[in-house]
Amino acid sequence: MILLLGPIQELQRNILGPEIQAFFFLVVAGLCAWLVWKRQFIGLLGFLCLSFIAGIFIYRPDIIQGIAETIGPTLFRDWNK
Protein backbone atom coordinates (compact mmCIF):
# COMPACT_ATOMS: atom_id res chain seq x y z
CA MET A 1 0.00 0.00 0.00
CA ILE A 2 2.79 2.41 0.88
CA LEU A 3 4.50 1.71 -2.45
CA LEU A 4 1.38 2.90 -4.27
CA LEU A 5 1.25 6.26 -2.50
CA GLY A 6 4.33 7.69 -4.22
CA PRO A 7 3.09 7.24 -7.81
CA ILE A 8 -0.41 8.35 -6.83
CA GLN A 9 0.91 11.55 -5.28
CA GLU A 10 3.08 12.25 -8.34
CA LEU A 11 0.08 11.67 -10.61
CA GLN A 12 -1.99 14.02 -8.47
CA ARG A 13 0.68 16.72 -8.64
CA ASN A 14 0.98 16.40 -12.42
CA ILE A 15 -2.75 16.38 -13.19
CA LEU A 16 -4.04 18.82 -10.59
CA GLY A 17 -2.26 22.14 -10.65
CA PRO A 18 -1.95 24.36 -7.60
CA GLU A 19 -5.02 26.37 -8.63
CA ILE A 20 -7.31 23.32 -8.71
CA GLN A 21 -5.87 22.02 -5.47
CA ALA A 22 -6.35 25.49 -3.94
CA PHE A 23 -10.00 25.39 -5.02
CA PHE A 24 -10.39 21.96 -3.42
CA PHE A 25 -8.75 23.26 -0.24
CA LEU A 26 -11.14 26.23 -0.13
CA VAL A 27 -14.13 23.91 -0.61
CA VAL A 28 -13.02 21.75 2.32
CA ALA A 29 -12.32 24.83 4.45
CA GLY A 30 -15.77 26.17 3.55
CA LEU A 31 -17.34 22.86 4.56
CA CYS A 32 -15.54 23.07 7.90
CA ALA A 33 -16.78 26.64 8.41
CA TRP A 34 -20.34 25.56 7.58
CA LEU A 35 -20.12 22.72 10.09
CA VAL A 36 -18.91 25.17 12.75
CA TRP A 37 -21.80 27.50 11.93
CA LYS A 38 -24.33 24.66 12.18
CA ARG A 39 -22.75 23.50 15.47
CA GLN A 40 -22.13 20.05 14.11
CA PHE A 41 -18.37 20.38 14.25
CA ILE A 42 -17.75 17.67 16.85
CA GLY A 43 -15.97 14.40 17.25
CA LEU A 44 -14.02 12.62 14.58
CA LEU A 45 -15.27 14.76 11.69
CA GLY A 46 -13.91 17.91 13.30
CA PHE A 47 -10.60 16.26 14.02
CA LEU A 48 -10.31 15.02 10.43
CA CYS A 49 -11.11 18.45 8.98
CA LEU A 50 -8.57 20.18 11.19
CA SER A 51 -5.98 17.52 10.42
CA PHE A 52 -6.59 17.96 6.68
CA ILE A 53 -6.14 21.72 6.90
CA ALA A 54 -3.02 21.40 9.04
CA GLY A 55 -1.60 18.83 6.63
CA ILE A 56 -2.17 21.16 3.70
CA PHE A 57 -0.31 23.99 5.45
CA ILE A 58 2.58 21.75 6.50
CA TYR A 59 3.11 19.36 3.60
CA ARG A 60 1.84 21.26 0.56
CA PRO A 61 2.87 24.91 0.71
CA ASP A 62 2.46 25.12 -3.08
CA ILE A 63 -1.31 24.93 -2.55
CA ILE A 64 -1.13 27.91 -0.22
CA GLN A 65 0.95 29.70 -2.86
CA GLY A 66 -1.74 28.84 -5.43
CA ILE A 67 -4.39 30.37 -3.18
CA ALA A 68 -2.31 33.50 -2.72
CA GLU A 69 -1.60 33.84 -6.46
CA THR A 70 -5.26 33.25 -7.37
CA ILE A 71 -7.04 35.32 -4.74
CA GLY A 72 -4.37 37.86 -3.79
CA PRO A 73 -4.52 40.09 -6.88
CA THR A 74 -8.32 40.18 -6.67
CA LEU A 75 -8.40 41.10 -2.99
CA PHE A 76 -5.70 43.75 -3.17
CA ARG A 77 -6.45 45.18 -6.61
CA ASP A 78 -7.99 48.39 -5.26
CA TRP A 79 -5.22 48.95 -2.73
CA ASN A 80 -2.61 49.40 -5.44
CA LYS A 81 -4.32 52.43 -6.97
How far is the CA of 73 from the CAs of 2, 54, 69, 78, in angstroms?
Answer: 39, 25, 7, 9
Write down the pLDDT at residue 67.
Answer: 72
How far is 44 from 69, CA to CA, in rounded Å? 32
Count other C-beta atoms under 10 Å from residue 24's C-beta: 13
**Is residue 21 over pLDDT 60?**
yes
Determine if the pTM surpasses 0.75. no
**Is residue 1 over pLDDT 50?**
no
Stretch 7-17: mean pLDDT, rounded?
A: 59
Alpha helices in 1-81 (DSSP H): 2-15, 18-37, 43-59, 61-75
Write down the pLDDT at residue 18.
Answer: 64
pLDDT in tens, 25-80: 777 777 777 777 666 656 656 666 777 777 667 667 777 777 777 776 666 666 55
